[in-house]
A and B are shown apart, each in its own frame.
Chain A
Amino acid sequence: MNQPFRVPFSLAFLAIAAGFLLTNVAIASEVNVYTHRHYEADDALYAKFTEQTGIKVNVVKASADALLERIKAEGKNSPADVLITADAGRLVRARAAGVLQPATSAKLAAQVPQNMRDADNYWCAFTVRARVLIYSKQRVKPSELDCYEDLAQSKWKGRIVARSSSNIYNQSLLASIVAAAGMEKAAGWARAVRDNMARPPEGSDRDQIRAVAAGIADVAIANTYYVGLLANSPNPEDRAVVGKIGVFFPNQNGRGAHINVSGGGVVKSAPNRNNAIKLLEFLTGPEAQASFPVTTYEYPLDISGTQSKLLRSWGEFKADTLPLQTLGEKNADAVRIFARAGWK
């Protein structure tokens, strides 16, 4: 072999050895989690779960849609025990794709409210986020705000920002409006809100909140935990943004503010079914529930019972009690409406 290539090749052999080290060794008690939630806090929770039960948690983190494809491709041989997504709609889709199985347990039934799990127990939620209105304290009085539907009024022309409709949080919000008011009204709403936007959708919820703080817009549609993220950021610039904005829970005189969840279901071919149920029980149990408001600024399943100072500072609110399953069922309608409304 040519002299200059000797070193790279010996490196390659080292790398092969490293590759073997990377591969997991099967151990007696484990649970394999495919999760959409790429959060450090979740890793810490899994570690706690292992400490308490001795069950090792193996994790693959990727987008829920891709993980669904992986589970389908792996077929009955899939190692996946639990599929975790960051919205109810994708759990509904996973059930429809036939990759989940029902998981009943007394603990789950007690810990998860009825509207936060599948009617046939194919999946259940473990954290909640509310989609709210973020307003500029300088230019908007809370009394000017009312409900999501109100954003369609002409007084908001050029004053609203929202992220792309390809985001599931917007789709779920619109799905809840479809469920409440029907296709036609929801379509009119999406068109009007799109017309009222200060700029075309770009970036994440965080970018919308910053746009309100910067004066580009007066009201943003965003999830509560992004405010928590900014308020707790080690970067003083982020914290300064929080001082300029207020959190408003809409639809308090009606059906309540729109909520979505992170949740999980047991995979149909789960080789470790019992461990999978144990993990879901742990995630919906008291210890994990108390941790979410602190680590990811999400609400626990018992929204009003949270002890988190930050979450309580935004005020108590009434949440929409629509069964979350409906968000998944109406999702296709929402996507179609957004496309027609030109809300990219």
Chain B
Amino acid sequence: MWWIGATFIALLIAVPLAVVVVTLFEAPSDVWREVVGYGVLGTYVKGTLIMLLGTGLLASVFGIGAAWAVTVWEFPGRRFFSLALMFPMAIPTYVEAYAYDFAKYELRDPLMLWIRERFGAEAMSDANGIFNYVLAIFVMALVLYPYIYIAARIGFAEISGAYIENSRLLGRSLWRSLFSVGLPLARPAIIGGLLLVLLEVMNEYGAMLHYGIETLTIGIFNQWYDWKDTDSAIRLAGVAMLVVFAIIVAEMVLRGRSRFHAHHGARRNLAEKPKTAFGTSMAFGFCASLLFFAFLLPLWQLLKLARYGIEKVQVGELLQPVFGSLSMAVLAGLVILIAALFLAYAARIFPGLAMQLLSKMCMLGYALPGAVVVIAMLSSVAAISGLMADDALTTILFTATPIGLVMAYAVRFMTPALAPLEAGMAGIHRSMDEASRILGRSSWGSFFRIHLPLLRLPLLGALIVLFVDILKELPLTLVLSPPNVETLATQTFGLMHKEERLAEGSLPALILVLSGCAGVIILHRLIRRPLRA
């Protein structure tokens, strides 16, 4: 039963992704050979790797550091920070990039002029490129670290305070305990969060174009839009997907048989948080400056622009999509979450390789640029509807209802749901399953009585990430929506990115970001025992 259900869900998600894999085995087009001949493939891979490495590292430092600080230290505003540090992920990357444009005009350009004066025009051109890489990594890490932060918070919260206390009794500082206790025990969760960050970096398009950085995703769009070679675009996407699959499987193998259990029986928080002046001010300083650079400063920039834009737009109209966007994000988020729960539980009760690979396959959609998911989705639906006598399938899926859009979201966003749930499952000791079985409960019974309650935190984390991701989502929403649907994200994209009316666009951007934050707060409150350390 579980096996069949999980296979069905996995197939639904894997079919569009299989379209991508299949093209890898077809003969390459002339365009592909030509493009590879120019050596651009190497450029794309280089750009992608630099961004992956830089953003992955910086986002880890931000995310893990912040999570550890709010978990083990007591400092003024700790409860506020523990919630507010999630907010930056409500800002779409390209909006954060626009908000940081002041760094280009007020910092970079004067610096470049000085470099040209001192070292010449070529040096300026090179320095400009390096500056753009640094700024892009910084900006990406600022909006993406919350994925790691949330995962690490959950990971740390599942660790019994006793472990940390023991570590301190052994004479280790809290800082050293992070490396000896926190990181090893929370590793599955943190890796899950890091995976999300890396995949987000892989598929980023707008910000890369903004900074002139060439990545595989930029290459995919070049193939598709410029060379009109959809096959090569998908082939390149397939290359990107293989890289990601390798990362996921490598992680799975590395984790191997070693299992870390959270010791639920003795779960309690740190009895007493130490209050050394130095530790407290460090923790506060870290969290405050992170929140400042990731959220408050960009918000201030948007507000500055909004001051000019407010006269030119009808704010009432901009508010119209708020309810529709928020409810769509929650609805689609729950659908995906339920599917992910099914997959994660099936992978637990059937620990064989086939089921493991099946659930990992479903995670690949997150690595692809949304636009590639669009092509894959459209071509698989076209193929299926071609088999049917009356091809009303596309009408049902895309014109009359948003069902097709929700399915596309599921293909795209299975990872943010599955990764935390798998990490959470890994933290539940197998002896619990066995005990439940011995007591005569069915697998359904064990699921509802044992696993679901223990997965509360991962479920909460997954729902928050899904909600924000769907709220910000663009390419799928734009192409696969029924007509006349305007969401907060498409509205912002239209004014800010397409029309480049930044002052006017800052208003829907602010509405989008604040709605996202409000949603995060509400979701956080809904679960009775929220993420309070």
Contacts and interface: CB of A to CB of B under 8 A. Distances in A.
A165 B528 CA distance: 53
B328 A18 contact: yes
Given A73-B382, A75-B382, A19 B328 contact: yes
A72 B503 contact: no
Given A18-B324, A38-B499, A72 B479 contact: no
Interface residues of A, number: 75
Interface stretch (B73-81, B289-297, B482-490): B482-490
Given A62-B478, A229-B500, A216 B109 contact: yes
B432 interface: no
B394 to A, nearest CB: 4
A4 B501 CA distance: 43
Interface in B472-507: 475, 478-485, 490, 493-495, 498-504
Contact of B401 (A19, A78, A198, A200): A19
Contact of A67 (B385, B394, B479): B479
Interface in A158-180: 158, 164-166, 168, 171
Contacts, number: 214
Contact of A214 (B105, B225, B479): B105
Contacts of A66: 371, 374-375, 475, 478-479
Given A15-B330, A234-B503, A2 B394 contact: no
Contacts of A168: 225
Interface string B213-241: 01000100110111110100000000000
Interface string A315-330: 0000000000000000
Contacts of B452: 2
A98 interface: no
Contacts of A203: 209-212
Interface stretch (A101-109, A115-123, A332-340): A332-340
Interface string A76-90: 111100000000000
B503 A73 contact: no
A39 B494 contact: yes
A61 interface: yes
A303 B442 CA distance: 76
A9 interface: yes
Given A66-B479, A339-B40, A18 B334 contact: no
B341 to A, nearest CB: 11
Interface string B226-258: 111010000000000000000000000000000
A76 B391 contact: yes
A77 B225 contact: no
6 contacts: A14-B327, A19-B331, A22-B482, A211-B109, A236-B308, A344-B212
* Closest 10 pairs between A and B when the two form their complex, measured CB to CB: A202-B212, A15-B331, A15-B327, A158-B121, A58-B483, A234-B308, A73-B378, A62-B478, A38-B498, A73-B382
Given A4-B528, A23-B400, A200-B129, 19 more contacts: A7-B526, A12-B331, A14-B327, A18-B324, A18-B328, A19-B328, A22-B324, A62-B475, A62-B478, A63-B225, A66-B478, A69-B379, A70-B398, A77-B392, A199-B125, A233-B501, A233-B503, A234-B308, A236-B308
